[in-house]
Structure 1
Amino acid sequence: MKMGMRGAAASVLILAMGATGTVMSQQPAAGAAAKETSTLTSQRENVSYAIGMDVANSFAPIADEIDLAALRRAVNNAFEGKQPLITQEEAQKTDQSLRMAMAVKSGQPVPGMAPGTPAPKVDREKVGLMLGSYAVGPSLAPLKTELDLDVLFDAVKTAFAKGTPKLTADQAKSTLEAFMAAKQGEMQAKEAAKAGTNRTEGNNFLAKNKTQPGVVTTASGLQYQVLRPGSGERPMPTSKVRVNYEGKLLDGTVFDSSYTRGEPIVFGLDQVVKGWSEGVALMPVGAKYRFWIPGELAYGEQGTPGGPIGPNATLTFDVELLDVLP
C-alpha cells in the first residue's frame, strides 16, 4: 500500500529561527575568542555546550524576548514526555504577538497598524514556554540521555548575555560534526541489524506459511489466500481500484486500516508497492483476499522512515476489492 510521510509540521514558527542542532551555520567567525581554559571535561559536556551555542544562535534575533527559566522548564517537561506547558492555541497567539513586535522593531510595515505605533508587549515567559514546548524540547528529546542540560543552558545564557563562550566556533562546529557522524553510524548499524532480523523472521514465517491449507505462493514470493471469492471484473496492472484493507506487521500490530478511517481508498495499481500491484490484480471484484508480502515486494531495505514498517519487513494485508474504476 502506498503510504505518505506522517511527519507533523511545527506548531509555531519563529521569525529568523534556524533548525536546532544544525552545524553552527550562523556562529561567529572562526577566530572568535573562547576561554583559554575550558571547564568542559567530557565529550558529553562538549556536545551539550556546542548544541547550546547553536540553539542560542538560532534564537539570537529574539533573545531579548525569551525567558530562559521558562525555556528550561519547558525543555525539561518535554524530556519527561509530559504535555506541553503551554497550549498550541496560546503558543500560536504568542507567536503572532512576537512576530508583530519584531516587525515593528525592525521598521517593517504591519497590516492594520499605523506607522509609529509602539511594538506590542510580548510575554517573555510564554515565549520561553512556546519555544521549549514546540521547538527545542521535541527536537532534542531523542538525545536526552546524551545531553547535560545544565551545560547546554550555560551556553545559551552566555550567548544571550554576549559573553565569552567556552568553545570557539570552529571547536563547536567540529564537535557537532563528529557527534552527528557518530549518531548516523549508530543508526545505520541498528537499521542494518534490524533489516537482517526482519528478513530472517520473514523468510521463516513464509516458509512455514506456504504449507498452510489454501495458501498460494506466486513466482515472485507473494503469498495469498482467498477469504471470500468474487465474481466481478479483474483489474489490469494499470487499473484504478477502490478497496477496503487492513495492514499488519507479523506480530499482529495494525499499522494502517481503511476500516478504522471509515472509508475505502482509491488508487492506481501502478502507484503502490509491488506486492499490492501483483496481488490485487489477481482479485475479481467482490473478493476478499489475505496477502503475505515479503519485504522485497513491500517497502524493502528502507521500510517507512520513522516507522511503523521496519526494513525488510514482511507484511500481512486483508484486502476487499470493491470496484474497478474507469
Structure 2
Amino acid sequence: MKPLLRALVALSMLAAIGPVPSALAQENGVLTTEREKIGYMVGMDVGRSIAPAAPDLDRAAFERAVRNAFSGGQPLLTEEEAKAVAPALMQRIALRNGQPVPGLAPGVEPPAVPKDKVGFLVGADAGRSLAPIRDELDVRVFMQGVADVLDGRKLQLTDQEADALRQSFSARVRTKLQAEAAAAGRKNASEGAAFLARNKATKGVFTTPSGLQYMVLRQGAGPRPRPDANVRVHYHGTLLDGTVFDSSYDRGQPAEFGLDKVIAGWTEGLGLMPVGAKYRFWVPSELAYGDRAGMGPIGPNSTLVFDVELLQIL
C-alpha cells in the first residue's frame, strides 16, 4: 500500500489515541478552492477519528504537533512521556465509553493526563499519518474541519460531498505517488548496481552467485545454520547513504527469527556464517524487497547494508 492510502486508512485508526482542536479555527469560514476543500475534508475525518479523546486534549498542542511532524521536527514528547500518557488516556476513553478499563480496578478513577501532552501525542500520530499528503493540505483549514466536528458545528461539506472529494483526491494522489515511486525505484536500482560493481573489487569482499556481497568482520567457530533454522542475532541495517532503518544494537536487544521468514539475502547470508561470526552484507534489491518499499526509509529497488552477528542457533 502506497503512502497516500496508508495515510488515509490511518485516519480511521486514530480513535484509539485521541482528539484535536485549533486556535486558528474560524467560526464561519468559506471553502473556495479545491485545496481548502481537501484540507477541510481530511480535518473532518480526523476530527471524527479522534473525538473519543477530545475532553483530554489541548487543541493548540495538537496543532503544534501536526505542524512539527509535517516539518520533520524532533518529537515534542519523549518516549517515556508517551509511554506514560498513552495508557492513561486509553483508560479515560474506556471509562467514558462505559467499557471495562484495562489495568484498573473497578471503581478506581484513571489518572489525570496533561492535556498538552495528549495533544502532542495525538498530533504526532496524526501528523505522521498525514505527512505523505502534507503538501496537499492547508493546515489552517484542516484544523477548521477538526474543530467543527469536535465542537458539533454545522459542517461546510456534506457527507456526500466529502465522499466524492475523498475518492477523487485519493485517485489523483495515488497516481502521483505511483509515478514518484517508479522514478525512485529506477534511481535506486541504478545507484545500487553501480555501487555493487565498485564494491565487488574491494579487498575482502566476496560475491556469491546470487549477487549477495559479504565481508568477514570476525570469524566464528560454531556451526552454520540451516535455511529453516531459528537464530538469535545482533544486527545494524542501513541504506547505501548510511541512513539507519533498523538496528537491534540501538534497541539493546538481540533479535530472534526463522531464516525462512526473512528476505532472501538474509537466508543466504546467515547460512554462510558460523556461530560467533560477524559479517557485513551488501544485499541487492532483488534479494531484499525488490520494487516494493520496505520498512521506514527503504524505497523500491534499494540495496541494503547489514552488519550481522550470529549469536546462537536456537
> Does residue 1:317 correspond to 2:300, yes or no?
no
TM-fit CA distance, 1:245: 3.1
1:134 aligned to 121, 124, 148, which one? 121
Structure 2 matches for 1:182-261, cutoff 5 A? 182-261=172-251
> Does residue 1:83 correspond to 2:76, yes or no?
yes
TM-fit CA distance, 1:251: 1.7
Aligned pair count?
A: 277
CA distance in 2, matches of 1:243, 1:304: 20
RMSD: 3.9
> Does residue 1:50 correspond to 2:45, yes or no?
no
CA distance in 2, matches of 1:324, 1:14: 39
Aligned to 1:146: 136
| Superimposed CA distance per residue, residues 41-77 of structure 1 (whole angstroms, 9 cap, x where no aligned partner) | 11111112222333444466787x588xx42453134
TM-fit CA distance, 1:153: 4.2
In our comparison, the structure showing a higher alpha carbon Rg is 1
Give 2:16's aligned amino acid.
L
Aligned to 2:107: 112
Deviates more, 1:240-249 or 1:76-85: 76-85
Question: What is the SS of the residue equivalent to 1:175?
Answer: helix
Identity between Structure 1 and Structure 2 (%): 43
Aligned to 1:173: 163
Give 1:172's aligned amino acid.
A
Determine if contact 1:302/1:310 at 8 Å carries over to the other structure: yes
Q: Could you say if the C-alpha distance between residues 300 and 167 of structure 1 is closer, same or farther in structure 2, counting changes exceeding 3 Å? A: same
TM-fit CA distance, 1:281: 1.5
Q: Could you say if the C-alpha distance between residues 275 and 41 of structure 1 is closer, same or farther in structure 2, counting changes exceeding 3 Å? A: same
The runs of 5 or more residues in structure 1 that have no matched partner are 1-6, 18-37, 105-109, 114-119
Aligned to 1:100: 95
Q: Could you say if the C-alpha distance between residues 164 and 243 of structure 1 is closer, same or farther in structure 2, counting changes exceeding 3 Å? A: closer
Determine if contact 2:14/2:49 at 8 Å carries over to the other structure: no
CA distance in 2, matches of 1:309, 1:224: 20
Determine if contact 1:194/1:311 at 8 Å carries over to the other structure: yes
TM-fit CA distance, 1:159: 4.7
Determine if contact 2:64/2:120 at 8 Å carries over to the other structure: no
CA distance in 2, matches of 1:172, 1:79: 23
- TM-score normalised per structure 1: 0.68
CA distance in 1, matches of 2:287, 2:163: 42
Q: Could you say if the C-alpha distance between residues 322 and 184 of structure 1 is closer, same or farther in structure 2, counting changes exceeding 3 Å? A: same
Give 2:76's aligned amino acid.
Q
